[in-house]
Structure formats: C-alpha cells, structure tokens
A and B are shown apart, each in its own frame.
Chain A
C-alpha cells in the first residue's frame, strides 16, 4: 500500500480516491492468516468527536492497520461524558476482536472522579502516542523559570488555566502543587485552546496544555514555556527544559493507546498486538503524530497495561481518592 500521509497529490479526483482507500482498503500484502481472524470489519471506537486529536490519531492508525490486517477498520465516534460513554460502550462489547477502541489517559482518571470506569475491564493492546504537558506563562510574565514560578506560587496563589474540570492538565497543575508545595489555583476552561488563549491574554498566571497545543504559540512568542513534563526535551520545543532538568521530577502527558473489551481470545489478541505495533511504528503514522505536535511513543501491550495501572494509582493519589 502507499504511504498516504506523505504522498503529494495533484489531481482533484484524489479526494474520492483517498476516501475509497481509507474506508474500503483491501490491501494486497496481508500478513497471512493462521486463524480466520479478522474475517469481518473491525470497529474502532473513539471517545471524542470527529476532528480532534484523538480522532485524527485514530484515523491515521486505522489507515495503517487496514493493509496489515487486510480488513476495513470503521472509525466510530461516541463522544460524551468525558469519554466515559465510549469506554463503557467498549467494555460492554463482545471480546471477539471486532470492537477495539482508542483509549486516552482519562481511563486512569475517571474512576477517581465518580465515573463508572475501571481499567480492569479492558485488554490493553499497546500505547501509540504521548503529548507531554507544558507549563506556559504570558509573554510578559515575571517568571522566567519553573523555579521562579514555584517561588512565586509559594508567596501567593497563582492561577493556572487548563482544558477542563477533571482533565489531565488540571491533574498536572494539582500534581505540581502537591510535589512542590506551591499554591496553585487550577482554572478549568472549555478545551485546551481557550486555556492557552487565557495565558496569551494574561488573564491567568500560567496554563498547562499539551505540547501540540502550545508549540505554535511558544514559537510565536505569544507565551513562554517554562518546562515540559516529560523525561526528555521535545523536538518542537528544543529550548524548553524538562521539569527534571529544573529539579522537579514530574511527568504528565496526554497519552493514548488501543484497548479492547477484557477477555480477547489469545490468537486474536496476539494478531492485534503485532498489527498495532507495526502500524504504530510505521513511517506514515509516526509522521502524522509528529506533525500534530505529539510524540509517537509506542509501548507493547504488556508495558502499556503496567503503565495504565501505575497511572491509575498515581491519579488516585493526586485526585484525592488514593
């Protein structure tokens, strides 16, 4: 199959062609089938509306999975209730490998926020991306470094915008306060962009948002990034130190992976795991994720399941249900 995301198309008819390729791809290079699976379309449930980051990532992965599994992957958006609608839906499906889903970091948080979501109800098949959190301040802010900011927040409470109540970036602000003793007032907005706008306009003292959301504004000088909550620097933000470099070993990220209802048959499970590994590390997928400002971080099914459970425990502490 062609690498669609890198191909440059110059004919108008390509619009229709691409539509066909993406929705009904019948690749010639199937990985051969010891079992019958998959003999039918696979539905990939996305917890967010079409057009957002989760949706784009899922569709890019689906495009890579189709030729590998030699079947159609139908991406279905089931937005609502912070993603729990989709999570509960996935948990309720037959574990036959024909329903899988994109699983965001919220799976490790919602259970601590009075939603009926438990990571134990799923089989985790692999992590496919990570968008590390970045702490930004208005361009004219007095704080030049993370240490300045924490010192300032020790003197008086500082407001930190985030993308919504119960969001990963609110948890990051709370986690920062927990770890450093700083006084932080998280201010939830309706999405990452308005939170960033509040930092640009100087209405708040700072904001925490994903790397992809802030990198444009940082490059433009509309906000200043003080630290990235990841173990290494981000290629789009090479001058922004990690929190660890600044002396605070803190990592917060909006990660995503693929999951399925608990109890997949072993052969189905291993087919999916290796297909997801191949798709998530393919050039096309890596490029799509990178160009959106996130990192193409892959973790195997086993590593991912351990990671989810570590994150679940960590958020239990941060969100006060530990």
Chain B
C-alpha cells in the first residue's frame, strides 16, 4: 500500500502535470505529422529533459510515447498516410471507412481501442512484469526468424483482390529490402556506388510514399474528373451497440497479440498491427469486409499496435533491454538520471515502477480525452478546398520525411515511392505486401543468418517456440490455398454458396 501511495504521490506535483501536458501536446502533434515518429520526438526531447528531475523527465518522454500512438492514427484514417509505422495497419480499414463517409466513427473507434489496448498491456506490466519479461529472453534469433516468417504470411490476407498480385508485390518488397549492406558480412548489395543506399532504402520514406503520396497523386490526377470523392465529412461519431459488440473479439485478440509482440525485443507496433489485423481476419465471420472498411479490422489493428506499448515497457524496465526504438532512447535517459532499468528496479525502487505505470495510464486517459475533443477540429480541416488540403499534406510529408535524415535523398525516395505506388494502384497491385516485405525481409534474413552462424539449421525446428511459429506460418499459408481449391471444386459442382469460401481465399 505504501508503495502505491509513494508511487502515485509524485503525480500530484503540479510541475509533473505540466510536463505531462507538454508531452501530450508534443506527442499527438508529432504522431499526426507523417515522417516524424515517436522515437524521433522522444530522442529530441531527451536532450532537454536530462536537466529535469527524473519523474518530470519520465512524464514528458512517456507521454510523448503515448500521445504519438494516438496522433499517428489520424492521417492514416483521413488521408491514407501512416503518421508513424505503427499505424500502417490502421490504413487498411481506416481509410476505406473514411471514404465511405465514416471517418468520425473510425476515429472514435480507433481512439477507444487504442486506449483499451494500452490499458490491458499496462495491467500486464503492473501485475506480472518480471516473470513475463523472461519470455523476451527466450526470443533468440531462431525464434525471431520464425515470428517474422509468421508475420510474412500476413501477405496473403492483405492481398485483398488477387493473391497472385499480392504475392508478387510482397516478393518485390522483399527484393528491395536486400538493397544495402549484407547484415552479416557487410558486403555491398545493389548499392551501385550510391553511398546513401548502403543503409538500404529509408523505410519511413517508402511507406509514406506508397500510401500517402500515391493516394495524393491519384487524387490530383482525377481531380477534374470527380471520379474519386475525397473525404468531405466525418459522418456519425459514436459506434452503435452492434458495432461495439462487433469490435469485442478483435479487441481481445489484439490485446494479447500486441502485448506479446511488444515484449519481444525489436518487434514493435508496426509488426503487431499487421499480425493482429491478419489474425482477426482469419477469425472473423466477415473476412471479406477486411480491407474494405471493416470496423473489426480497424479495431484489431489499433488494439494490437497500441498494446505493444505496455509490452515494450515490460521488457525495458524488467530486463533493461529496449522493447522498441523509443525505449532504447528512454534507457539512455534513465541511465543518465542514475536509474538503471533491469530486474533490480522492481526490488529496489518499486515506487518508481508504480510512478511509471501511473504516468502511462494518466497519459492514456488524457490522450483519449484530447483525441475525442480535438476531432471536432478535424472537420474544419477537411472543409478546406481540396487542392489546399492535398498541397498541405504534401508539404507536411516532405518536411517530415526530410527531418528523418536531414537530406533530400529521403524526400526523393518518398516521391519515387509515390510514383511507384500510383502505378501499382492503377494496375491493381496492393501496397501493403510491399511494405510488409520491406519491413520483415531484413529481420527474416538477419535472424536466419544469425541462427545459422550460431547453431546451424537444426535450431529452427528443435527450439519449441520457433517450431510452433513455423508450423503456424505453414498453416497460415496453406489455409487460403485449400479454401480456394475447395471453392473451385464447389464452383464446378452445381454451385450453392461459393461466396463464403471465396471470401477466405481473397
């Protein structure tokens, strides 16, 4: 009880509240700014917070972390541009919902499941951080490889129209992921003497290009024809009871997936969102709606990517290993404050653990409040004449992308990816699998190579976690193909209901 009181007391300090609000403001703004990620904002803020008291500093940094996780959903839903990589999966159903005139509903639903996801994962942090963090240590290269391969099977389900085109796009993504230095030998691959290519294609620039800029080019080209109507109204705000019930299952699923993926070091909200979305689709009664504006899809994606926050925090504080890139910066700051994250933090300084959890929870609740209030302002933004709106988005994307490296090279990559994205859109190739390949390809390769260096190929099947994940991946690959075969057999027979089965294979 004393621990609880001592841990919560610092939050009553008005200066800590000011820090919370400052962090919240910065967080939601940078989250909504495509290209500027939570980790960049936390890193820059860390330079300033070093001079503060640890609790004040933590209040700023942790609320930026939380706030960014709300802000990044807004451009995903409204303009198909993920504010940060964690919101990639949000675009899959969020933007289609917005195009159907349900942007308000999507924003509100997203805020609620995001809040729920963080709170569930924080409960795990509070109740069982130390035992659960040990799970992270079991994730060596072999397990990581298997998890990533499992993630790659998502490619099949995000290929909404044609599996073939999706797989081709995915392989394209894997192929461009090989550009840069070999992860083990350091040899150059497809660098062609261009120094910038040594570190591979800048991931954030590519996703903004493929999603946001491609959409923007598309809108610009059809502007006169009025073929595509940009989102002009947010529509209804509150989900109906039926819609809430619909989101329950994907929410539960997303919470579990997000927390577990968050605990795994170096796997964050981007991967979790995609896996959560895919699993929810496979378990849904209406999988055919996924990718076309399904609330279930949105709920699954946003719950899982948000639940990684508590998972990452667990690994970071209980083991001293960063759970994601934001946490890496956080550890750096804490060490300078004289706080060493790791097992003894929980035994030596339990009050601080409570304070950290309290900051996260307060930040989450405040973020929910801010997002619900602020959304009304978004209506006015969308009332802008569309050429201003899209021009503004273009400027934001260029500036945001530029800041990731302070170099125009990244901006050219973004614009180039935009052109590629437009071409793919016009020919019916989905962008999701490309991003998936680019995101997971390097992880799959590096971890496979590490496994082979350390133990040789047998480790992949003899390690239980890795074996189970690989089997799940195989099942994930086989199910749609089996379903498709069965569907075509049924179609040959006097057809009764081919649509239900076909939906699975899509």
Chain A interface (Cβ < 8 Å from any Cβ of B) = 4-5, 7-15, 18-19, 22, 49-53, 55-56, 59, 76-82, 84-85, 88, 113-116, 159, 164-166, 185, 187-191, 193-194, 196-198, 200-204, 212, 216-217, 219-220, 222, 288, 291-293
What would be 24 A-B contacts, judged by CB atoms less than 8 Å apart? A9-B51, A12-B22, A12-B56, A14-B51, A18-B48, A18-B52, A50-B44, A50-B47, A51-B40, A51-B328, A51-B329, A52-B329, A55-B47, A56-B332, A77-B406, A80-B405, A81-B196, A114-B188, A201-B138, A203-B142, A219-B340, A291-B338, A292-B336, A293-B335
Which residues does chain B contribute within 8 Å of A197, judged by CB atoms?
136-137, 265, 319, 321
B266 contacts A190, CB within 8 Å? Answer: yes
Name which of A50, A159, A202, A292 has the most chain B CB atoms within 10 A of its CB: A50
Q: Is the CB of B199 within 8 A of A220?
A: no
Nearest B-chain residue to A56, judged by Cβ = B332
- Asked if residues B52 and A9 are in contact (CB atoms below 8 Å), the reply is yes
Which of chain A's residues has its CB closest to B442's CB?
Answer: A190
Q: Are A80 and B198 interface neighbours, CB within 8 A?
A: yes
Q: Which residues of B contact A85 (CB under 8 A)?
A: 195-196, 199, 405, 407
- Known interface pairs A114-B188, A185-B454, A293-B335; A80-B196 also in contact (CB < 8 Å): yes
Given A78-B405, A200-B137, A201-B138, do A292 and B53 touch, yes or no (CB 8 Å)? no
* Interchain CB contact under 8 A, A189 and B335: no
CB pair B195–A165 under 8 Å, yes or no, is: no
B406 touches A113 (CB 8 A): no
B186 contact from A165, A187, A291, Cβ within 8 A? A165
Of B12-20, B152-160, B471-479, which stretch is located at the interface? B12-20
Interface stretch, picked from B1-9, B176-184, B220-228, B253-261, is B176-184
Is there contact, CB below 8 Å, between A14 and B47? no
Q: Is the CB of B52 within 8 A of A15?
A: yes
Q: Is B116 an interface residue (CB 8 A)?
A: no
Q: Taking the nearest CB of chain B, how far is it from the CB of A154, in angstroms?
A: 19
**What's the Cα separation between A201 and B42 when bound, in Å?**
28
Q: When the two chains form the complex, which single residue of B140, B198, B405 contacts A198, counting CB atoms closer than 8 Å?
A: B140
Q: Does B450 touch A at the CB level, under 8 Å?
A: yes
Which residues of A sit under 8 angstroms from B181, Cβ to Cβ?
A: 82, 165-166
Of all chain A residues, the one with the shortest Cβ separation from B17 is: A12
Tell me, in angstroms, the Cα distance from A188 to B450 when the chains sit together: 7
Residue B322 at the A interface, CB < 8 A? yes
The B interface is mostly helix, strand or loop, or mixed, namely helix
Contact with A along B38-51 (1 / 0, CB 8 A): 01101110111111
- Docked Cα-Cα span, A34 to B406, in Å, equals 34
A19 touches B48 (CB 8 A): yes
Asked whether B186 lies within 8 Å of A113 as measured between CB atoms, the reply is yes
Do B320 and A9 have beta carbons less than 8 Å apart? no
Q: How far is the CA of A179 from the CA of B290 in the complex (A)?
A: 59
Inter-chain contacts of B291 with A (CB < 8 A): none
Judge whether A189 and B450 touch: CB under 8 Å: yes
Within 8 Å by CB of A159, from B338, B407, B453, lies B453
Name B176-234 residues within 8 Å CB distance of A.
Answer: 181-188, 195-199, 202
Contact residues in B for A212 (Cβ distance below 8 Å): 335
Q: Is the CB of A201 within 8 A of B140?
A: yes
A59→B185 CA distance, assembly (Å)? 33
Q: Are A84 and B198 in contact (CB under 8 A)?
A: yes
Rounded to whole Å, the gap between the CB of A113 and the closest CB of chain B is 6
Q: A8-B53, A12-B15, A12-B19 are in contact. Are A220 and B446 (CB under 8 A)?
A: no
